[in-house]
Amino acid sequence: MSEDNRNITPPKQDEKQKKQERLAEALRANLRRRKSQSRARTQVEQTKTHES
């Protein structure tokens, strides 16, 4: 175990792990949303250049 986890009881470790999993999922969702927004902006820009 690392020094950080020595004094943490197993229930606390479970809470910490669940929190890390929630944060990781939130980061993945954020990345998916940002990629989708970027793709949409790129399509709009391409459409504008083809219409001109």
Can you spell out the DSSP letters for 1-52?
--GGGTT--HHHHHHHHHHHHHHHHHHHHHHHHHHHHHHHHHHHHHHHHHH-
How many alpha carbons lie under 13 Å from residue 19 in its C-beta half-sphere? Answer: 6
The span from the first CA to the last CA of the chain, in angstroms, equals: 62
pLDDT confidence of residue 1: 47
The predicted pLDDT at position 34 comes to 98
Q: Is 5 in contact with 13 (CB distance < 8 Å)? A: yes
pLDDT confidence of residue 46:
84
pLDDT tens, residue by residue, 3-51 = 566 777 788 899 999 999 999 999 999 999 999 999 999 988 888 887 7
pLDDT at 50: 76
The pTM of this model reads 0.64
